Structure 1
Amino acid sequence: MKILAFAGSSSSTSINRELVKFVLKSFPEDEINLLDLNDFEMPIFSVDTEKKGFPEQAHQFLAEIEASDVIICSMAEHNRNFTVAFKNIFDWCSRINSKVFQDKKMFLMSTSPGGFGGGNSMAIAQKNFPDWGAIIIDSFSLPKFYENFDLENGVINPDLLKELNDKIAHFKQQVQ
């Protein structure tokens, strides 16, 4: 099973990336392709720019999805929405293939420093990603990242860790 993983953030200190890396420890390393959105920087999408052609990075991102069996991602939140970095990649890719996620099974996550755990971006993704070809098997939101996560140990809140592990196990059962 080839796993494509990413955080919906371009921050070098992304807490969503840390959550993704923690979850990936539950899967064999040789099956993981962890992307960095910074490797897919493109002009800001506009219809006028699109007339000049599609950036190679958009084709590359779609090729990474195509080469995978499943997707594990954690959506960062800026101002109650996706980050500009993710949204721009998504906008370009959706113009090439409206089924951006190409009917891949997905484990969807989010986290934030606040108590809502990135719930706004998570809700948007849960509502809309299926229309764009994602088959969301399960989702997990980690509230209060800095209180519930340690960079060395991962999720340290026992109740949240159990919930996450249960969802990882469920996801694994559904994708095998």
Structure 2
Amino acid sequence: MAAILAFAGSNSSTSINFKLVQLTTSMLQDHDVQTLNMAEHPFPMYSEDHEKENGFSESLVGLKAKINKAEGLILSVNEHNGNPSAYFKNVLDWLSRLDRNFLEGTKLLLMSTSGGKRGAKGAMTVVEAMLPRFGAEVVATFSLPSFYDAFTDTGILDKGLKKEHQKALEYFLNSLK
């Protein structure tokens, strides 16, 4: 039984990436899973001046502690103009200031989705290259294109994409053993 932390890189209350995370975690059995809704975790925009004046927030320290407790991380990133959202980049900036290696030894299932045909692959590619700098091992990836056509409350509609999602999840879980 592995400890797994799951969240989306979006702070939107209607995040489709969070819906993908929720679907993914609903498929997990026999694991200690904690799912975070990042819409409930605001962080000020990072600046050295803010850090010097205020230090690190309890919310940030708590997030880092949850990440450090987890053996695996399920993350789905959203995309703004071909890149990860400013919110998610800001979270990474804060976490890396607190501890440069805040993901040391963490296995990661990295996902993305969007309403478009590329499924936020631009953001996923950027994040996949970025997270190992902080110690993460990205062991599997999955991108869901055309979210509004491909997803319902019951899950992923396209059989091929559904199988690909399941395969990525299985690969991730096997890496935790």
TM-score of Structure 1 vs Structure 2, range by shorter chain: over 0.9
- Change in 2 beyond 3 A, CA 1:159/1:30: closer
Q: Provide TM-score, normalisation by structure 1.
A: 0.94
Q: Within 5 Å, give how 1:18-167 maps onto structure 2.
A: 18-28=19-29, 31-52=32-53, 53-151=55-153, 153-167=154-168
Among the aligned pairs, what percent are the same residue?
A: 36
For the 8 Å contact 2:73–2:108, the answer to whether it is kept is: yes
Length-normalised TM-score, structure 2: 0.94
Report the alpha carbon displacement of residue 17 of structure 1 after superposing the two structures with TM.
Answer: 0.5
What is the CA deviation profile of residues 81-134 of structure 1, one whole-angstrom value per residue up to 9, with x for unaligned ones?
122222222111110111122320000000000011001110001111111111
Over 2 Å off, 4+ runs: none
Distance in 2, matches of 1:61 and 1:169, equals 26
CA contact under 8 A between 1:37 and 1:85: conserved in structure 2? no
Partner of 1:15: 16
Q: State how far apart, in whole Å, the 1-side matches of 2:62 and 2:110 are.
A: 21
Preserved contact between residue 2 and residue 69 of structure 1 (Cα < 8 Å)? yes
> What's the RMSD between the two structures over aligned residues?
1.3
Task: Write the distance in 2 (CA, Å) between the matches of 1:131 and 1:157.
Answer: 34
Preserved contact between residue 11 and residue 40 of structure 2 (Cα < 8 Å) = no
Q: Distance in 2 between matches of 1:63 and 1:38?
A: 19
State the distance in 1 between where 2:31 and 2:21 align: 16
Q: What is the one-letter code of the residue matched to 1:156?
A: L
8 Å contact kept, 2:68–2:102: no
Number of equivalenced pairs: 175
One-letter code aligned to 2:157: I
Paired residue type of 2:168: K
- CA–CA distance in structure 1, aligned partners of residues 82 and 62 of structure 2: 28
Report SS of the residue matched to 2:83.
coil
Distance in structure 2 (CA, Å) of the matches to 1:174 and 1:25: 19
For 1:10 and 1:42, the matched residues in 2 are separated by: 10
- For residue 172 of structure 2, give the secondary structure of its aligned residue in structure 1: helix
Gaps of 5+ in 1: none
